[in-house]
Amino acid sequence: MGKYRKLQGEQGWAWGVAVAILKPILLATTKQDWTGAEKIPEKGGAIIALNHISHVDPLTAAHMVWDYGRESRYLAKAGLFKNKRFGDFLRAAGQIPVDRSAGAGAFKEAVAAVNAGEIVVVYVEGSITKDPGGWPMVGKSGAARIALETGAPVLPVGQWGAQELLPAYAKKPNLKGRKTITMRVGDPVLLDDLRAQGATPETVQEATDRIMAAIVGLVEEIRGEKAPAERFDPRQHGMNRTGNPNAKHKEQG
C-alpha cells in the first residue's frame, strides 16, 4: 500500500468539510487495497485515468489520492451543479461541471487545472460501464486530449470492488460488511511520440487506446481474468453511452 503522505499546500475549506464527513464513512464501509499509489506525483499537474463501475467511484478514488497528499479535481456531470448550494460546494472543492453533449468549456478548465499543477481525475469511459461483465467499455477522448494539450503524465488506474458497495445505478448502498476497494496505479502511459505529432484525430484515438489498454490490463490483474477481446460499445447494442440502460427514463451517469 505504500506510505501515506501529508497534504501538500493549503487545504481548501470544502475539502476540509468533505474529508471530515466522508472519510470516516469510507473507513467504516470499505477496506483499502491500494497498490502503486506512491506513483501519484507529490506535486505538479497530472491526469489520473480510471475505469468506472459505480457512482461511489469518485469518493473512493478521492480517498486514495487524498491519502497520498493531493486534492483531486473531477469532470463531474453538470446536473450535479443545478442545486445552487451543492453546486457552490462542488465548485469550492475544485470540481469541473461538464455537459457531456458539449464539453469544450470543461476541457479548457481541466487543461488550465493541470497546467496550474493540479491533479485531474477522469473516468475515461465517460459513464459507468455498460459491459455485462463489468469490464471497461470503449473509451472517450477527454483524458487523451488533456494529456496531449498539457504534456502532463497520465497515470492509469484499474479498480474493482466499489460496485459491491453501491452497484451500478442502485439507489441504496449495500452496507452489510466492509467492502474491499482494490486499486492498482500503473506507470504513466507513454505518449511523448504522439505529442510530437500534435493532437490530430489519429493521435487522440491512439492515445485513448493506449490509456484504455493500460487500465484494462490493471483490471485484469485485479480480477485474475482476461477481459473480452473487444471492448463493449453501447451503441452497437442499441444503448446510450450514458444513463441507466435498464431505466424507462434516461438517467445520467
SS3 label, residue 215? helix
Q: Could you please report the per-residue DSSP string of 17-74?
A: HHHHHHHHHHHHHEEEEEESGGGS-SSS-EEEEE----TTHHHHHHHHHHHBT--EEE
Domains of the chain: 29-167+175-237 (3.40.1130.10)
Amino acid, single-letter form, for residue 215: I
> pTM of this prediction?
0.91
User: Measured at the alpha carbon of residue 233, what is the angle toward residues 227 and 234, in degrees to the nearest 5?
Assistant: 125
pLDDT in tens, 130-154: 999 999 999 999 999 999 999 999 9
pLDDT in tens, 198-252: 999 999 999 999 999 999 999 999 999 999 999 999 999 988 887 888 765 444 4
Answer yes or no: are the C-beta atoms of 220 and 156 closer than 8 Å: no
